[in-house]
Amino acid sequence: MPRIKVLDEATANQIAAGEVVERPSSVVKELVENSLDAGSTRITAEVRGGGLQLIKITDNGSGMDEADSVIAFQRHATSKIKSLADIENICSLGFRGEALPSIASVSKIEMITRPPENNSGTRLEIEGGRLLSGVPAGCPPGTAITVTDLFFNTPARLKYMKSKSTEAGQITDIISRLALARPDVSIKLVNEGRTAFHTPGTGNIVDALSSVYGAETARNMIKLEAGEESMAVHGYICPPSLSRSTRRNITVIINGRYVRNYLISTAIIEGFGTLIPHGRFPIALIYIDISPEILDVNVHPSKMVVRVSGESNLFNLVRRTVTASLRTERVIPGLDEAGEKYQPDKTAGFKIFERGPAAARDPLTHGGVTVPDTVLPGLRPAGQAFAQKTIWDKSQSGTDDLFDSAYPIGFLPPTYVLAGSARGLLIIDHHAAHERILYEKFLKALGGDRVDAQILLVPLAISLSPHECRVAEEFLEYFSTLGISMEGLGPGSLLIREIPSGLSRKSAEEIVRDLLEYIIESGRKIQREDVVKKMAASAACREAVKSGTRSTTEEAWAIIDQLKKTEVPYTCPHGRPTIIIIGEQELKNRFKRT
C-alpha cells in the first residue's frame, strides 16, 4: 500500500490558509487588494470582534458574473496571470489564486457580486470551503464579501489570536498602509459600528497622509524625489523633530504594493544620519517604481516580502534621496519661533567659567586644589557667597572619590562641562547627565500610587492617527493614573487637560505619542512599571537642557552634585555615557612624560 497520498481539497486549502491567513488583518489585506485590482474607487471595510466575528469588504469594482464567482473559490484560480511568462511582469497586487479558497476554508462566507454590464448579480454562501448555495440577487455593481466566524473550524489557530483590541489595531494598520499606497481610492474602515478611518480618494498623497497621521503632521512632511535608469523614488519624510520611538511609521510602497523591507527601512534611517537621536525613527512614506523584471513578489504567500535584483543600488538611491531632501532649514526644530540659533564662540573653542585675581586662585595648604571665590557678575546666587572649597586633598583619606573630588573648570561647546578631579580630566555631557537626573526624578514621582498633576490653563489639542486615537480612548483611565487627563475631541483628535507636575506643556504631546506607540507596539498586556519607565525616559529626554545651551558655574556645580546622588550616574536612560575620563596615565602618555 503506498505511503504517499494526494491530500484532499479541504486539507490542502487549510494548509494554504495557514500560509495566507495568519490573522484577521491578513483576510482584510487580501480582500481589499482584490478590490483594488478590480478597479474600485470606493472601498468600505467593516469589522467586529477584532475581525474574528465579522469582516465585510464592499467595493464598486468590476464584480463577477455567476460562473466566475464560483470558479474564484477554487484553488489557483485567478484572472491576473495566464502563463509562466506573466509572472515575470506582475503589475497586480494578487495573483497566487489561493486567497479566496484559503479564507473560505476557515470561515463562513457570503459573497454578493455583480459586473456593471449585467442587470442582476449572484449571491454565494460558503462554509468551511463547501459551497452551500448560489442564487441570483439584486445588488449594485461591485462586490460585497462578508466573512464571519473566522477560524471556527480550526480552534488551535484561535488560541494564538491576541485580544480583540490588538487584532482591530492590526487591521487599522494594514488599511492605513493600503490607503497610503492608493491615495486615488477612497477607503473607509468601520470598527464596531464607528468610522475609525476614511481617506477622501483625491489622488493627493498629502490628503492620504492627513487621514493617517493628522493634518498638522502631513503639513510638515518634506517631499523627496529622485530617479535613475530602472528605478525611481518619491514620497514624503518627516522633519527630525517629528521622529517616533519605533520603525512602525515607515511605509514602503514598491510598484503600488505595500511591502516590509528591512533594507529599505534602514536606508531611510541612515539617510537621516545624526539628525535624529539613537533609538528614534522617522515617519516616512516612500514610493519606489522599478522595472517588474527585477522585482520578485512571489517570495511569500502574503506577498509582503519582495526581492529586488540589485538591492544595493536601490539602498544607495533611497539613502541619498533622503539625505538630499533633508538639506533644508525645515529640519531645524523651532526655527520659525526661536528667531535665532545658537552660535558658537568663534574666538575660542573653550570657554573658561571664571577667572579671579591671582591671589584668589592660589591653592590652600596641604596640596589642595581650590575653586576661586570670585565669579563672573550675575553668576552668584542672590544672598550667597561663593566660598572657597577644597576639592582634592591627597593627604585626606577617601577624598579621591570621582564626584567628591570633581570641580568644574570650563565649558566646551556644544554641551560639554569640563571638570578636574582626583581621577583626571572629566568630560560631562550636560544633556545626558541632566537627562539621567530628571529620569530618576520622574521615575520616583510617577512610581507611586498617586501622581501629582497640574491642570493646564489652556487644554492641549493633539491630532492622532485613527489607530492611536482608538488606543488612547481605550486607555483613558490608565493614563489618568499617570497624571495625564485626556478626553476625545472628535475623530482623530484628543484634548489633554492635566499633565504630571514638573512636565512642560511643550513635552506633553510627544510623550503621549511615545506612550501610545509603545502600547501599540507591545501588542500584549502592559505592565505599569514598564510604562512608567518609558514615560520617565521620554519626559527626561525632552525636559533636559539642550545641546548648544551654555552652562554657568552654578549649573556645572549642580550637575556634578545631583549626578552623584543618582543611582546610575554613568549613563543616561538610553544607555549613552554621561561622563568620560581622561586619566592621569593617559595625560602623561599624551605629553610624553612617561
Domain boundaries of the chain, sorted by first residue? 9-201, 221-335, 346-594
Check residue 9 and give its pLDDT.
62
* Strand ranges in 37-156 using DSSP code E only, listed in sequence order: 42-48, 54-59, 108-114, 121-127, 130-137, 142-148
Check residue 14 and give its pLDDT.
56
Segment among 18-32, 216-230, 339-353, 493-507 with least mean pLDDT: 339-353
Q: What is the mean pLDDT of residues 336-342?
A: 37
The values of phi and psi at residue 301, to 5°, are -55, -30
Check residue 421 and give its pLDDT.
84
Of the two residues 43 and 382, the one the predictor is more confident about is 43
Segment among 321-330, 392-401, 573-582 with least mean pLDDT: 392-401
Segment among 51-55, 205-209, 587-591 with least mean pLDDT: 587-591
Check residue 287 and give its pLDDT.
96
For domain 221-335, which architecture applies? 2-Layer Sandwich (3.30)
Which among 379, 362, 400, 364 has a CA at the least distance from the CA of 556? 379
Check residue 28 and give its pLDDT.
95
Q: What is the mean pLDDT of residues 300-305?
A: 59
Q: For residues 188 and 46, what is the distance between their CA atoms, to the nearest angstrom?
A: 8
Check residue 140 and give its pLDDT.
94
Check residue 81 and give its pLDDT.
52
Check residue 288 and give its pLDDT.
92
- 86-123 per-position pLDDT tens digit: 555 555 665 444 588 889 989 999 999 999 999 999 99
Q: What is the mean pLDDT of residues 463-491?
A: 85
Q: In the predicted model, is pLDDT for residue 379 greater than 50?
A: no
Q: In the predicted model, is pLDDT for residue 435 greater than 50?
A: yes
CA distances from 477 to 224, 357, 468, 472, 507 (A): 41, 61, 15, 9, 21
Of the two residues 398 and 276, the one the predictor is more confident about is 276
CA distances from 380 to 356, 418, 553, 555 (A): 13, 19, 9, 11
How far from chain centre, in Å, is Cα 574?
Answer: 17
For domain 346-594, which architecture applies? 2-Layer Sandwich (3.30)
DSSP conformation letters of 358-402: HHHHS--STT-EE--S---TT-SPTT------EEE-TTSTTTT-T
Of the two residues 558 and 377, the one the predictor is more confident about is 558
Q: What is the mean pLDDT of residues 72-95?
A: 60
Q: In the predicted model, is pLDDT for residue 299 greater than 60?
A: no
Q: What percent of the chain has pLDDT over 70?
A: 78
Q: Are 406 and 420 in contact (CB under 8 A)?
A: yes
Q: Report the amino acid identity of residue 461.
A: A
Q: Are 537 and 443 in contact (CB under 8 A)?
A: no
Check residue 572 and give its pLDDT.
84
Check residue 135 and give its pLDDT.
93
Check residue 286 and give its pLDDT.
96
- Place 16 in a pLDDT band, splitting at 50, 70 and 90: low
- Place 329 in a pLDDT band, splitting at 50, 70 and 90: low
Check residue 7 and give its pLDDT.
58
Q: Does domain 9-201 have CATH number 3.40.50.150?
A: no
Q: Are 189 and 491 in contact (CB under 8 A)?
A: no
- State the number of CA atoms in the 13 A half-sphere of 439 facing the CB: 23
Of the two residues 86 and 529, the one the predictor is more confident about is 529
Check residue 399 and give its pLDDT.
32
Prediction pTM value: 0.67
Q: In the predicted model, is pLDDT for residue 478 greater than 80?
A: yes
Q: In the predicted model, is pLDDT for residue 8 greater than 50?
A: yes
Check residue 537 and give its pLDDT.
86
Check residue 154 and give its pLDDT.
85
Check residue 2 and give its pLDDT.
65
Of the two residues 128 and 369, the one the predictor is more confident about is 128
Check residue 94 and give its pLDDT.
58
Check residue 15 and give its pLDDT.
53
Q: In the predicted model, is pLDDT for residue 389 greater than 80?
A: no
- 134-162 per-position pLDDT tens digit: 999 999 999 999 999 999 888 888 888 98
Q: What is the mean pLDDT of residues 178-198?
A: 94
- Place 124 in a pLDDT band, splitting at 50, 70 and 90: very high
* Degrees, nearest 5: CA angle 102-105-109: 100
Q: What is the mean pLDDT of residues 475-482?
A: 86
Check residue 359 and give its pLDDT.
35
Check residue 127 and give its pLDDT.
93
Q: Report the amino acid identity of residue 154.
A: T
Q: What is the mean pLDDT of residues 530-544?
A: 85
Q: In the predicted model, is pLDDT for residue 339 greater than 80?
A: no
Check residue 394 and give its pLDDT.
38
Q: Which cell goes with 279?
A: 533609538
**Kind of pairing, strands 416-421 and 407-412?**
antiparallel
- 550-588 per-position pLDDT tens digit: 878 888 888 999 988 888 788 888 777 888 888 888 888
Check residue 446 and give its pLDDT.
85
Segment among 167-176, 240-249, 326-335, 488-497 with least mean pLDDT: 326-335
Check residue 579 and give its pLDDT.
87
DSSP state for residue 577 in the 8-state scheme: B
Check residue 336 and give its pLDDT.
41
Cβ–Cβ contacts within 10 Å for residue 402, how many? Answer: 19
